[in-house]
């Protein structure tokens, strides 16, 4: 009953965003999924450093109709996360554990403050990790049965699938490994059961890998495609991440959000409640959750850019922490309940009162600029946005001849802008060019080569919503007045 109410709560939080303009990541991945076919990269003509399971989800959304279908899939992902959280909480601490953990999951999986009201790739990965953890707990409880073996396999499969969405989401494997070891050390589980469950988990982890390998064998894909686009690129990008002047501001913003939404309260009370955990025979689970928190923190630190949705990586750990601690009649338990209440209130405020929107902004401007471009576009028009904001192109109904739709890709793989300049000067030059960020952001145009290429081939045709838009000199369009963009943005 409590879990069902939490499901309704998370859906109520998402309803206002079902028809909201797409976020840049959503739009970029939908553009890629729409054209996903044989090409120079793993995902056809475009490159992105995300996993193949994520792209399969976006391909499904594209096949079902696009943006609205994607948001509905996002609702399903959030519901799965809440149900998995409730299941895990019930196994750990009964009805009370299920209710508190499901409430936290519902609040964080559908809050504007963390960009989880939309179809966020990190939310999908967090849902898979939560399902993996719930299955691991269930497998331990059925350690000597066939159902326990099946649950261990499912836990492993979900743990690897999370890594095939976002490559840093290893918490499912961390939780299972530490929980098994800790359970054996405190003699809650015999060695033979540990080996049996671990074997099933390893088998499950290999199944998604085998599926990817089969895809390589029967398609145009190569092992080098898969390795570099999913993992090699991330290693290369690590040397670029963290150089932005906005990183400190984003870190401060993320910390403020973590405080306002109860994240810091939940983490503090969990860590301080170790002594009380011993009374309830949850020592092994406490240690395993702590390991998840450490792993999540390390991944967030290595991520470096400190976007607000980084907090989604902590959802599985915080959900389990709440299940373990909140039902306890102790100061730590009371603190966990206060943290859960803060999470729910913050989610409602962010969604229905919009108090966080001045901090995080909205996507209305990008959608309005895209509509302005589309007002007199022609079939076959293409565009490039400097540096990112693929939702402008999606709103305009255009694709891009340049394969990098995010600034980090350009900064990592095309830092001298050789490919971009070749594209702008070549026969497949984009019809439109949008200067969303200054040309010399991140010192990308320090030598002025990009400016020269734009001045040579493009002419500015307007500044809708304050954004400079350029058109190829060889083309002609009858565009609406700039003020029309402001009306669309406000509406």
User: What is the average per-residue pLDDT within 409-434?
Assistant: 91
Digit-coded pLDDT (tens) for 5-14: 999 999 999 9
| Structure confidence at residue 486 (pLDDT) | 81
Digit-coded pLDDT (tens) for 343-375: 999 999 888 776 445 455 567 788 889 898 988
| Structure confidence at residue 365 (pLDDT) | 83
- DSSP letters of 319-357? HHHHHHHTTSSSHHHHHHHHHHHHHHHHHHIIIII-TTH
Asked if residue 327 has pLDDT above 80, the reply is: yes
| Structure confidence at residue 248 (pLDDT) | 76
Contact call for residues 423 and 45 (beta carbons, < 8 A): no
Contact call for residues 89 and 101 (beta carbons, < 8 A): yes
Asked if residue 232 has pLDDT above 70, the reply is: yes
| Structure confidence at residue 278 (pLDDT) | 60
Asked if residue 483 has pLDDT above 90, the reply is: no
The sign of the dihedral angle between the CA atoms of 297, 302, 304, 305 is negative
Banded pLDDT at 147 (limits 50, 70, 90): confident
| Structure confidence at residue 379 (pLDDT) | 87
| Structure confidence at residue 213 (pLDDT) | 87
User: What is the average per-residue pLDDT within 83-97?
Assistant: 92
Banded pLDDT at 245 (limits 50, 70, 90): low
Asked if residue 148 has pLDDT above 60, the reply is: yes
Run of H or E including 472: strand 468-472
Asked if residue 144 has pLDDT above 80, the reply is: no
Asked if residue 444 has pLDDT above 80, the reply is: yes
Contact call for residues 80 and 126 (beta carbons, < 8 A): no
Report the number of secondary-structure helices (H) and strands (E) in the chain: 23, 4
| Structure confidence at residue 268 (pLDDT) | 92
User: Residue 434 CB: number of other CB atoms within 10 A?
Assistant: 23
Asked if residue 491 has pLDDT above 70, the reply is: no
**By C-alpha distance, which of 410, 477, 474, 398 is closest to 437?**
410
**By C-alpha distance, which of 165, 160, 164, 208 is closest to 25?**
165
| Structure confidence at residue 312 (pLDDT) | 93
User: What is the average per-residue pLDDT within 12-30?
Assistant: 89
User: What is the average per-residue pLDDT within 450-466?
Assistant: 90
Run of H or E including 486: helix 482-490
> C-alpha angle 227/233/237, rounded to 5°?
160
> What percent of the chain is predicted at pLDDT more than 90?
44
Residue 106, Cα to own-chain centre: how many angstroms? 16
Least confident of 39-53, 245-259, 429-443: 245-259
User: What is the average per-residue pLDDT within 57-63?
Assistant: 94
| Structure confidence at residue 307 (pLDDT) | 83
Q: Which of 15-24, 41-50, 170-179, 364-373 has the highest mean pLDDT?
A: 170-179
pTM comes to 0.91
Asked if residue 385 has pLDDT above 50, the reply is: yes
| Structure confidence at residue 1 (pLDDT) | 77
User: What is the average per-residue pLDDT within 308-321?
Assistant: 93
**By C-alpha distance, which of 146, 140, 141 is closest to 197?**
140
Least confident of 185-189, 406-410, 444-448: 185-189
Mean pLDDT, the chain, whole residue set: 87
User: Residue 149 CB: number of other CB atoms within 10 A?
Assistant: 20
Least confident of 32-41, 293-302, 392-401, 431-440: 32-41
Question: 3-state SS of the chain: helix, strand, coil percent to 5?
Answer: 70, 5, 25
| Structure confidence at residue 358 (pLDDT) | 47
- Hey, what are 239's tokens? 């040397």
């Amino acid at each position: 009953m409590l879990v069902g109410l939490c499901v309704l709560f998370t859906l109520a939080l998402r309803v206002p965003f079902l028809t909201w303009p797409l976020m840049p990541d959503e739009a970029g991945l939908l553009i890629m999924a729409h054209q996903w076919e044989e090409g120079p990269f793993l995902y056809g003509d475009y490159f992105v450093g995300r996993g193949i399971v994520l792209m399969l989800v976006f391909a499904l959304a594209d096949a079902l109709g696009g943006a609205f279908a994607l948001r509905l899939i996002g609702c399903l992902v959030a519901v799965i996360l809440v149900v998995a959280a409730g299941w895990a909480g019930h196994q750990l601490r009964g009805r009370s554990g299920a209710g508190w953990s499901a409430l936290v999951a519902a609040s964080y999986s559908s809050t504007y403050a963390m960009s989880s009201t939309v179809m966020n790739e990190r939310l999908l990965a967090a849902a898979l990790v939560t399902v993996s953890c719930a299955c691991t707990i269930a497998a331990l409880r059925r350690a000597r049965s066939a159902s326990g073996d099946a649950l261990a396999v499912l836990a492993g499969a979900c743990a690897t699938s999370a890594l095939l969405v976002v490559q840093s989401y290893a918490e499912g494997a961390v939780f299972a490994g530490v929980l098994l070891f800790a359970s054996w050390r405190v003699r809650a589980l015999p060695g033979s059961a540990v080996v049996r469950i671990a074997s099933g988990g390893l088998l499950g982890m290999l199944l998604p890998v085998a599926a990817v390998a089969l895809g390589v064998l029967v398609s145009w894909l190569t092992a080098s495609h898969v390795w570099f686009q999913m993992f090699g690129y991330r290693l290369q990008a690590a040397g670029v991440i963290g150089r932005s002047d906005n990183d400190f501001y984003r870190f401060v913003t993320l910390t403020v959000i973590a405080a306002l939404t109860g994240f810091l309260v939940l983490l503090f009370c969990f860590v301080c409640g170790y002594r009380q955990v011993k009374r309830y025979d949850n020592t092994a689970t406490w240690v395993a959750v702590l390991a998840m928190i450490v792993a999540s923190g390390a991944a967030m630190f290595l991520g470096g850019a400190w976007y607000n949705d980084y907090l989604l990586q902590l959802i599985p750990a915080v959900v389990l922490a709440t299940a373990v601690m909140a039902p306890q009649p102790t100061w730590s338990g009371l603190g966990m309940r206060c943290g859960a209440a803060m999470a729910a209130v913050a989610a409602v405020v962010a969604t229905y009162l919009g108090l966080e929107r001045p901090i995080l902004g909205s996507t209305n401007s990008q959608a309005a600029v895209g509509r302005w471009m589309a007002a007199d576009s022609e079939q076959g028009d293409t565009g490039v946005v400097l540096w990112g904001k693929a939702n402008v192109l999606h709103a305009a109904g255009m694709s891009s001849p340049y394969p990098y739709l995010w600034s980090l890709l350009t900064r990592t793989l095309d830092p001298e802008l050789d490919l971009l300049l070749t594209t702008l000067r070549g026969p497949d030059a984009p019809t439109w060019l949008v200067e969303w960020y200054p040309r010399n952001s991140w010192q990308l145009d320090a030598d002025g080569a990009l400016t020269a290429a734009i001045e040579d081939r493009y002419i500015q045709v307007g500044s809708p919503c304050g954004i400079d838009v350029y058109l190829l000199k060889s083309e002609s369009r009858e565009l609406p007045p700039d003020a029309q963009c402001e009306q669309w943005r406000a509406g």
